[in-house]
């Protein structure tokens, strides 16, 4: 690999103020977003049967305030002020309601990143898939997706500010976790509300998926080799038959 | 209904008559005016899905009618549409004792076609035709009058065997000739419909033939056509968006760039090997399906964040991993075809892999794309094998059979490919072609890819990029 360690800086003249970008650095922020929804049980009424929280969080259990400036949640138009902006971490929003709908989340980055906001969509789920027995008020319905924010050429200012941040993977390597957050687990500290919710956050690991893909690839490889051998045999057969005719 | 049960704290599946009763008494609404009690009861007291009619509107109509006195009377009538003056009777509605007078109301619908007739002299002068005798022409015109130019009926009654088109051609051309001969100048009759809209035999026969072909198409053919059209549409869309992205890129890069604190040697290195510029170029740099022990090399490139295996659309500067994977899958769908991709996704599920990745880390996405490519290659091989099997079995049966196959199935594949999606970049065709073959060259290809960026740019986008590099370096 000839690209070496020297990071090349290239000025990018966008919006009239040039932004220096760090070349050959891929900064990845693993995130998880989704909803946790509690059935309100006896307290439920016609329009407020569930209390739910939608959130964008670090999949590594770290704070994201240094990277994300704000998250604008777009709720169903039947809510009061359906466009809600959460300006500081944790980027979560709690509401009560009765219906499931698609929540739009627009993630804004700090201005030094000079990146356009990113849109994510999540379908709010209130009712469990398996329709067995009455819903419990204790066990919420949690739907969470893993994803990665990829900065393939982070701006110089942004990169120098956040490059040591524990929520980041830089060129595939994870930064050391912060003292506050345990690696790949939920955060233990923080205010009580967050602690409540973080109990329900899902853990994400690509191991299982990677294993299934790798075993599938091996399987496909052997099938391909077998097919190639068969094909070769048939080709020889065809050649032999043709040669017989020639004689 | 589920909501109501939830509010009442009842289990979802259970039948709850008590709850329904309570609801119905509580929610019982007053019957709206203008709706009959029976109709209202039929709706079960629930609000209708459609907005109900405005009750005031319903009432008004009735009131307007009831103001007048309506009687019915048995009356005899004649119709001007009849030539025999037949007298029939019917019930007539009489409003306020005013009896209706005049013609039978439906007589105006009895339209008769004004068929042009000719005299013997005119026939001898203008209408002589070798293929038509006068008797036959007379008969045709009689039928035309009798059946109001309904040629389908006429063709059944003609004693000679002629097509509808022939009959129409004879009638219209003859009528036209007679009209023209009677008029002093051509302008006098220019407005006549026979002259304005002339009959075109060739066009009509052609039209019916095409229609016949279209209507006799099988469902499968229709589906195939629709698929091809959809594919073409998607390709144009992708090309358009790629073009737009490219233009935007050029625009942002072409603005004056200030000098940077760069050291010379790095300038020689490829600017961004991780993001090839155009799909065509990508296809050249791209496929690495043949790597037999993929875990090690792929993982290492994945970690450096600049894997040449990343083929497909150029990733944006900042993106969501899953969204970019979606783009890659879309591009590969265009390359491999919709049907192949569907098969690939079936196979993915058979292997217990999700067609949509659940945990899109870089490694998972890369491996997922590799697996997809390998599956495409597998399908291609299967196709080749059946082909070859056919060939061999035919050869066994009849060694002298002249099999119209190209010497290698490889080539036939390429040909098929080009036929199917001619708009596709040739580089892609080459890529698919090479699936079947040499693994070694493939890997070399892959390894060479980054180097190529710098020395010999093979396609125009490279040139642009190279030029730009220079501009920014100066």
- DSSP string of B311-323, one letter each residue: -SSPP-SEEEHHH
Rounded to the nearest angstrom, the gap between the alpha carbon of residue A40 and the centroid of all alpha carbons in its chain is: 29
The answer, for A182 touching chain B at a CB cutoff of 8 Å, is no
CA distances from A239 to A146, A244, B288, B398, B400 (A): 54, 9, 31, 14, 13
Separation CA B100–CA B93 (nearest Å): 9
CB A147 within 8 A of CB B322: yes
Given phi > 0 = left and psi -120 to 50 = alpha, else beta, which region is B133? beta
Query: With 0-12 CB in 10 A as exposed, 13-18 as middle and 19+ as buried, what is B383?
Result: middle
Cα–Cα–Cα angle for B118, B119, B121, rounded to 5 degrees: 125
Confidence (pLDDT) at A85: 93
The residue assigned the tokens 């970008």 is: A21
Structure token pair of residue B157: 């009654």
Q: List, in order, residues 6 or more apart from B177 with CB less than 8 Å away.
A: B126, B127
The 3-state DSSP class for residue B354 equals coil
The residue written with tokens 């065997």 in the block is B161
Residue B350's CB is within 10 A of a number of other CB atoms, namely 10
C-alpha torsion B224→B325→B352→B432, nearest 10: 50
User: Per the CB < 8 Å rule, is A217 touching B316?
Assistant: no
Whose CA is closest to A202, among B82, B359, B353?
Answer: B359
Residue B71 corresponds to which tokens in the numbers above? 């009687």
**Buried-state track B216-237, b at ≥16 Cβ within 10 A, e below 16:** eeeeeeeeeeeeeeebeeeeee
Separation in Å, CA of A177 to nearest CA in chain B = 19
Question: Which secondary-structure segment (H or E) carries B221?
Answer: helix B219-254
* Residue B132 exposure: Cα atoms within 13 Å on the Cβ side: 23
* Sign of CA pseudo-dihedral A198, A199, A202, A205: positive
Contacts of A38 in chain B (CB under 8 A): none
CA pair distance B21, B51, nearest whole angstrom: 25
**CB within 8 Å of chain B, chain A residues 91-130:** 98, 109, 113, 115-116, 118, 120, 127
Angle between helices B134-146 and B164-182 (to 10 degrees): 90
Which of B328, B298, B316, B282 has its CA nearest to residue A149? B316
Strand partners, A145: A33
Q: What is the pLDDT of residues A41-74, one digit of tens each?
A: 888 888 888 899 999 999 888 888 889 999 999 9
Question: Over the range B83-119, which residues count as b (16 or more CB within 10 Å of their CB) and which as e?
Answer: eeeeeeeeeeeeeeeeeeeeeeeeeeeeeeeeebebe
The token pair that represents B267 in the structure block: 């300038």
CB-CB under 8 Å, B257 with A18:
yes
Give contacts of B 383-412 with A, CB under 8 A: 384-385, 388-389, 391-392, 395-396, 399-400
Going by C-alpha positions, the residue among A228, A198, A157, A247 that lies closest to residue A60 is A198
Please state, as a whole number, how many other Cβ atoms lie within 10 Å of the Cβ of residue A34: 23
Give B302-342 pLDDT, tens digit per residue.
Answer: 333 333 444 556 677 888 888 899 989 988 888 888 888 99
Q: By the CB < 8 Å criterion, does B1 face chain A?
A: no
Chain A closest CA to B340's CA: distance in Å?
16
Look at A6 and B266 and tell me if their CB atoms are within 8 Å: yes
In angstroms, rounded to a whole number, what is the distance separating the alpha carbons of residues B425 and B418? 9
Put simply, the answer to whether A153 touches B400 (Cβ < 8 Å) is: no
- The DSSP symbol for A41 reads G
DSSP assignment letter at B9: T
Asked if B367 is an interface residue toward chain A (Cβ–Cβ < 8 A), one would say yes
- Mean pLDDT for each consecutive 10-residue tract of chain A (247 residues)? 40 53 86 90 83 91 88 92 90 91 93 88 86 70 90 88 86 72 42 61 84 91 91 88 75
What is the rounded CA–CA span in Å between residue A83 and residue A73? Answer: 6
Q: Is the pTM of this model over 0.90?
A: no
Cβ atoms B362, B328 nearer than 8 A:
no
- Residue ranges in chain B modelled with pLDDT below 50: 14-28, 256-310, 405-474
Q: Which two tokens stand for residue B315?
A: 């990733």
DSSP character string of B320-333: EHHHHHHHHHHHHH
Per the CB < 8 A criterion, the answer to whether B192 and B298 are in contact is no
Residue B380 neighbours by CB distance under 10 Å = 22
CB within 8 Å of B460: residues ≥ 6 apart: none
Q: What values do phi and psi take at A119, rounded to 5?
A: -105, 135
pLDDT of residue A175: 78
B292 touching A, CB under 8 A?
Answer: yes
By percentage, how much of chain A surpasses pLDDT 70?
82
ipTM of the prediction: 0.80
State the Rg of chain B over Cα. Answer: 40
Closest of B41, B49, B6, B2 to residue B24, by C-alpha: B41
Whether chain B has a CB inside 8 Å of the CB on A5: the answer is no
């Amino acid at each position: 690999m000839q690209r070496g360690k020297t990071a090349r800086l290239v000025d990018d003249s966008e919006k009239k103020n040039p932004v220096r970008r760090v070349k050959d650095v891929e900064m990845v922020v693993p995130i998880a977003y989704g909803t946790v929804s509690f059935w309100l049980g006896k307290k439920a009424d016609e329009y407020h049967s569930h209390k739910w929280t939608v959130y964008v969080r670090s999949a590594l259990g770290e704070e994201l305030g240094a990277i994300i400036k704000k998250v604008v949640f777009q709720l169903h138009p039947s809510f009061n002020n359906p466009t809600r902006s959460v300006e500081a971490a944790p980027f979560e929003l709690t509401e009560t309601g009765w219906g499931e709908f698609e929540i739009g989340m627009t993630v804004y980055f700090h201005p030094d990143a000079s990146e356009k906001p990113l849109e994510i969509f999540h379908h709010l789920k209130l009712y469990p898939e398996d329709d067995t027995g009455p819903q419990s008020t204790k066990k919420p319905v949690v739907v969470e997706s893993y994803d990665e924010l990829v900065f393939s050429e982070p701006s110089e200012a942004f990169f120098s500010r956040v490059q040591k941040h524990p929520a980041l993977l830089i060129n595939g390597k994870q930064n050391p976790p912060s003292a506050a957050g345990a690696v790949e687990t939920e955060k233990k500290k923080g205010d009580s509300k967050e602690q409540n919710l973080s109990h329900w956050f899902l853990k994400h690991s690509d191991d299982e998926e990677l294993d299934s893909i790798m075993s599938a690839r091996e399987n496909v490889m052997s099938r391909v080799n077998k097919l190639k051998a068969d094909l070769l045999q048939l080709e020889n057969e065809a050649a032999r038959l043709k040669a017989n005719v020639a004689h | 209904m589920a909501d109501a049960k939830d509010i009442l704290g009842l289990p979802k599946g259970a039948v709850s008559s008590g709850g329904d009763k309570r609801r119905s008494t509580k929610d019982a609404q007053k019957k709206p005016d203008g709706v009959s009690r029976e109709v209202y009861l039929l709706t079960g007291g629930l609000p209708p899905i459609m907005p109900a009619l405005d009750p005031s509107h319903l009432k008004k109509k009735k009131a307007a009618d009831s103001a007048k006195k309506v009687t019915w009377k048995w009356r005899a009538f004649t119709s001007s549409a009849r030539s025999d003056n037949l007298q029939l009777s019917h019930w007539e509605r009489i409003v306020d004792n005013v009896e209706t007078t005049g013609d039978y109301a439906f007589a105006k619908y009895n339209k008769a076609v004004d068929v042009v007739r000719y005299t013997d002299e005119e026939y001898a002068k203008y209408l002589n035709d070798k293929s038509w005798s006068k008797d036959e022409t007379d008969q045709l015109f009689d039928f035309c009058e009798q059946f109001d130019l309904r040629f389908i009926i006429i063709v059944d009654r003609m004693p000679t065997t002629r097509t509808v088109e022939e009959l129409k051609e004879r009638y219209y051309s003859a009528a036209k000739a007679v009209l023209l001969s009677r008029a002093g100048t051509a302008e006098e009759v220019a407005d006549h419909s026979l002259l304005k809209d002339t009959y075109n035999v060739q066009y009509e026969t052609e039209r019916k033939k095409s229609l016949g072909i279209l209507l006799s198409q099988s469902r499968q053919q229709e589906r195939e056509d629709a698929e091809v059209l959809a594919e073409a549409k998607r390709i144009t869309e992708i090309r358009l968006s790629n073009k737009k992205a490219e233009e935007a890129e050029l625009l942002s890069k072409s603005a004056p760039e200030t000098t940077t604190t760069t050291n010379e040697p790095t300038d020689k290195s490829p600017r961004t090997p991780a993001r090839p510029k155009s799909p065509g170029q990508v296809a050249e740099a791209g496929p690495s399906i043949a790597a037999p022990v993929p875990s090690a090399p792929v993982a290492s490139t994945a970690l450096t964040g600049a894997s040449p295996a990343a083929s497909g659309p150029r990733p944006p500067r900042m993106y969501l991993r899953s969204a970019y994977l979606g783009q890659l899958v879309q591009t590969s769908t265009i390359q491999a075809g919709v049907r192949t991709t569907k098969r690939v996704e079936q196979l993915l599920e058979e292997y217990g892999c999700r067609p949509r990745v659940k945990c899109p880390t870089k490694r998972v996405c890369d491996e997922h794309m590799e697996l997809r490519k390998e599956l495409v290659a597998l399908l291609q091989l299967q196709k080749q094998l059946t082909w070859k099997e056919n060939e061999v079995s035919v050869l066994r049966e009849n060694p002298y059979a002249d099999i119209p196959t190209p010497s290698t199935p490889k080539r036939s594949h390429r040909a098929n490919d080009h036929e199917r999606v001619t708009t596709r970049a040739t580089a892609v065709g080459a890529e698919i072609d090479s699936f079947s073959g040499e693994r070694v060259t493939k890997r070399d290809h892959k390894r060479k890819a980054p180097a190529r960026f710098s020395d010999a740019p093979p396609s125009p986008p490279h040139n642009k990029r190279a030029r730009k590099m220079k501009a920014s370096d100066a």
